[in-house]
Structure 1
Amino acid sequence: MNHLDTIEPSELRSRLQAGEQPNMIDVREDEEVAEGMISGAKHIPLGQLPQHTDELDPEQEWILICRSGYRSERACEYLQQLGFRHVVNMTGGMLQWNSES
C-alpha cells in the first residue's frame, strides 16, 4: 500500500489565496456539487473517474475532494494504482471546507 498524501482544507485555502492554481478534482455526485464547489475544481464523479483518467497528467499533482474525505481517499488509491505519483486527499472534505469558511 502506497503512502497517501493529505492536505487540510485550511492549507488548500491558503494555497488558493496565495494565487496557486492546483489541479483539483471533486468526486462528489451532481446533486452534491450543485450545493457548491471549490472554485477551479474539476467535477468528475467517483464512478466516472475511470473514463476520464486519460484527461489527467499522471506527473502532475492532483488534489481530490469529496464530502467527507472517504470517496476522495478511494479515488487517490485508484489513481495511485494507475501510476499517478502526486495524488493528495483533502481531509475532512467539503464538510470541513465549509465549516472553516
Structure 2
Amino acid sequence: MIDQVRPADLPAWLQAHAGGDAPPIVLDVREPWEVQTASVAPAGFELRHIPMSLVPVRLHELDPARPVACLCHHGGRSQRVALYLAQQGFQQLANVAGGIDAWSREVDPGVPRY
C-alpha cells in the first residue's frame, strides 16, 4: 500500500522514515517544463527530478533502501510511479496527494500554480 500524504503532512512522513545514512527523497516525476514553471525547495529531503516516462530506464539512480515520496502536478502520475517502485522492491513509499498544486495551496503560496 502506498501512503497518501498531503503536502502539509510531508515533513512528518519524512521524519518518520528518516534515519538512514542519506535523507529521504522527494521524486518529482513531472516534465522538465513543469519543473521550470514551479518547483519546491528541499527541506529535510533530497529533491530528484526524473520524468515519469524515464523512471524505468533511470531506476538505478534510486536506492530502494531510502524512503521516496513521489510528486507530480495533482497526484495521479506520482501515484503510478509509486506503484511501479513498489513492484520494483521499494518499501518506504508515499504519494504526495494533490501534488505541487496542493503544495502551493497548503505549504508555500510562492510556488506558482499552473
Bin for the TM-score computed over the shorter chain: 0.7 to 0.9
The aligned residue for residue 35 of structure 1 is 37
User: Which 5+ residue runs of structure 1 have no aligned equivalent?
Assistant: none
CA distance in 2, matches of 1:22, 1:39: 14
Deviation at 1:22, TM superposition (A): 2.8
The TM-score normalised by the length of structure 1 is 0.85
State the AA in 1 paired with 2:5.
Answer: I
State the AA in 2 paired with 1:28.
Answer: R
1:48 aligned residue (27, 32, 54): 54
2:28 aligned residue (26, 29, 37): 26
Cα–Cα, structure 1 residues 13 and 59, in superposed 2: closer, same or farther, change >3 Å? closer
Deviation at 1:38, TM superposition (A): 1.4
Structural mapping, 1:7-22, within 5 Å = 7-12=5-10, 21-22=23-24
- Cα RMSD (Å): 1.8
SS of residue paired to 1:99: helix
1:4 aligned residue (2, 5, 28): 2
The TM-score normalised by the length of structure 2 is 0.76
Cα–Cα, structure 1 residues 13 and 98, in superposed 2: closer, same or farther, change >3 Å? farther
State the AA in 2 paired with 1:72.
Answer: S
User: Which 5+ residue runs of structure 2 have no aligned equivalent?
Assistant: 109-114
Deviation at 1:36, TM superposition (A): 2.0
CA distance in 2, matches of 1:72, 1:98: 17
The runs of at least 4 consecutive aligned structure 1 residues that moved more than 6 Å come to none
Deviation at 1:8, TM superposition (A): 1.0
More helix by share: 1
Deviation at 1:13, TM superposition (A): 5.0
SS of residue paired to 1:63: strand
State the AA in 2 paired with 1:34.
Answer: Q
Aligned residues: 96
